[in-house]
Amino acid sequence: MKTVNIKIDGKELVVPEGITILEAARQANITIPTLCFLKDINEIGACRMCVVEIKGARALQAACVYPVSEGLEVYTNTKKVRDARKVTLELILSNHDRQCLTCERSENCELQNLAKSLNVRDIRYKALYDNEMQPIDDVSTSIVRNNNKCILCRRCVSVCKKVQTVAVIDTMERGFLTKVGSAFGKSLADTPCVNCGQCIAVCPVGALTEKSHIDQVWDAIADPEKYVVFQTAPAVRASIGEAFGMPIGTRATGKMVSAIRGLGVDKVFDTNTGADLTILEEGTELLNRIQNGGKLPLITSCSPGWIKFCEHNYPDFLDNLSSCKSPHEMFGAVLKTYYAEKMGIDPAKMYVVSVMPCTAKKFEAQREEMKNSSGFVDVDAVLTTRELAQMIKECGIDFANLEDSQFDDPMGDASGAAVIFGATGGVMEAALRTVADVLTGTSAPIDKIEYQAVRGVEGIKEATVNVAGKEIRVAVASGLGNARKLLDAIRAGEANYEFIEIMACPGGCVNGGGQIIQPSSVRSWIDLRTERAKALYEEDRALPIRKSHDNPMIKALYDEYYKEPGSHKAHEDLHTHYVKRDNY
């Protein structure tokens, strides 16, 4: 690697040639503020917050896009630089809805933090045109868009277009009238938006948020007629601690259970039980298709953002999708049928709340296809990890100092295979653990159940896995742009597989659109996907049961209720179908 000699604020540095001033400064522990910047996603120098002074140059330059070269001398903290940044920030604030006290992103807002660090105490400028309040787009079941808080950083546009290749939002109009919107001024609900929430995760302010279910969940908890059950997805435990000052990737399972119990709910269950059930149903489906000439490749159906993307863009692959509901929907169906019957609870009074790392789950829960044999919807409300954190804070619960608790019985046991569902490749690995045992009729030793070939955060992973002497060609994709590449290759006859896992969010659910939001200064340099996934793999290794079919709760469920995976009764509650949607 070729290096160059440069100076930043008088500090002599040797850095790789071609990196930006921003990256070079970071390597030297010199902080340069940013706002629109998001590494590898949005590097456009639009906001001008990162301007620096360069010896010999007339104008200030944006550090996020200016490459270093031999002999470059940079000054990041001169009066000229500070004044320019402050003026730019005040101009941005002059057109911003500054109701910070009631904003969902208060205290986790990059604009607010910049105003504090740059000592902005007054806004010297008025809006350059009569800025009437724009209508809030809250029609979507998952995402609320408030352009009055938008600062035109374009991060949401970049992630939607470049990473997810959904491209339902873009900048519109020109000059002072510029805004982010959808074609023909449509609501997000009337576009092929897949509700993944990646736009929310990268938004530096409160312009994009999830459709909150907090108030209706509080109402249910306060209703003495309701039996309120919470279930939590595996990825939630790997992120929830971040909302309370814990390091990224902290495994906070026990504290999370204690906190939810402190909200006043009746039971706290683990969606991992539903994940184990998914593996039995999906593994059986895979084996049936392989052995009986069914439609291949089988593609997993756990990610509702991916499912909607497929419905809009790849309807020719709908028959390849597993008919299995996602784990939280399966578990909701089990709770309102088997569990309600076993415990003598009227399913009409049971209120199931899913805590998910995902905004698309909100859309999924209200789909007509997500009902069970009891006649009721599987899940009544979906909370994101962020919403759960907010409810915990409302109760004044000291999360970081809580004692660990266990999930409630009789649904408390789950396997390590279920835990890793939250990381890309996890569903695939969990399924292979079970399929291997089913094919051999034996139990593979613990040191043989970790399928490293499908782990890691690469966008597309391919492998040929030897399972009980049978070669199974598999692929794993995370992020919808990668899913598009994979499916296009299959369409073109360039690739062939038996089993495919697709997750809508890059890195899987650990990086879901409903997870705790980290600012660009963190997510640009720390791989959230890897750090959070570590927590799930740690929990997998720590659990006594590491295969879904070894879960005693799942065995009892089939013995007492469903009889066997893929049975008629199982199909009534645990399986569904999907539909072709317009892509306009």
Domain boundaries, the chain: 3-77, 125-210, 214-574
Per-residue pLDDT reduced to its tens digit, 464-481: 988 777 889 999 999 999
Question: Which class is 214-574 in CATH?
Answer: alpha beta
Per the annotation, the verdict on 478 as an active-site residue is no
Q: Is 302 a catalytic residue?
A: yes
- Amino acid 436: pLDDT: 84
Check if 429 is active-site: no
Our CA angle for 338, 431, 354, nearest 5°, is 45
Question: How far apart are the C-alpha atoms of 322 and 325, rounded to whole Å?
Answer: 8
Cβ(427)–Cβ(501) under 8 Å? yes
pLDDT at 283 over 80: yes
Record the tokens describing residue 220, joined without a space: 């249910």
Burial of 113 (0-12, 13-18, 19+ CB in 10 A): middle
User: Catalytic: which of 142, 322, 478, 548?
Assistant: 322
d(CA 360, CA 142): 6
**Whether the predicted pLDDT of 568 surpasses 60:** yes
In the chain, helix, strand, coil percent, each to 5?
A: 40, 15, 45
Q: Spot the catalytic one: 17, 70, 341, 369.
A: 369
- 129 pLDDT above the threshold of 60: no
282 annotated active-site = yes
Average pLDDT, the chain: 95
- State the DSSP code for 237: G
Of all residues in the chain, what percent carry a pLDDT higher than 70? 98
Is residue 333 within 8 A of residue 339, CB to CB? The reply is no
pLDDT at position 216 = 98
- Among 358, 509, 520, 539, the active-site one is 509
Q: What is the pLDDT of residue 470?
A: 80
CATH number 3.40.630.10 is the correct assignment for the domain at 125-210: no
The answer to whether residue 449 scores a pLDDT higher than 70 is: no
Residue range 291-303: mean pLDDT, rounded: 94
> pLDDT-derived band of residue 583, with 50, 70 and 90 as boundaries?
confident
Q: Residue 130 has what pLDDT?
A: 57
Sequence-distant (≥ 6) Cβ neighbours of residue 385 within 8 angstroms: 235, 236, 239, 240, 243, 355, 356, 357, 512, 514, 515, 516
Asked if 417 and 540 count as a contact pair (C-beta separation under 8 A), the reply is yes
How many other C-beta atoms can be found within 10 angstroms of the C-beta atom of residue 425?
28
Active-site residue, 509 included: yes
The single residue of 23, 364, 387, 498 carrying the catalytic annotation is 364
What does the pLDDT read at residue 447?
Answer: 64
pTM for the whole structure: 0.95
**Bridge partners of residue 87, in order along the sequence:** none
Spatial separation of the C-alpha atoms in residues 180 and 467, rounded to whole Å: 49
More confident residue, 544 or 129: 544
Catalytic pick from 149, 361, 362, 371?
A: 361
Q: What is the pLDDT of residues 234-261, one digit of tens each?
A: 999 999 999 999 999 999 999 999 999 9
Which of 285, 311, 329, 429 is catalytic? The answer is 285
Q: What is the percentage of the chain residues whose pLDDT exceeds 90? A: 89
Determine which one of 23, 53, 281, 282 is catalytic.
282
- Confidence (pLDDT) at 446: 64
Q: Residue 389 above 90 pLDDT?
A: yes
**Is the preceding omega at residue 297 within 30 degrees of 0, hence cis?**
yes
Burial class (CB in 10 A: 0-12, 13-18, 19+), 501: buried
Reply yes or no on whether the pLDDT at 505 is more than 60.
yes
Look at the domain 3-77 and name its fold: Ubiquitin-like (UB roll) (3.10.20)
Active site residue 285: yes
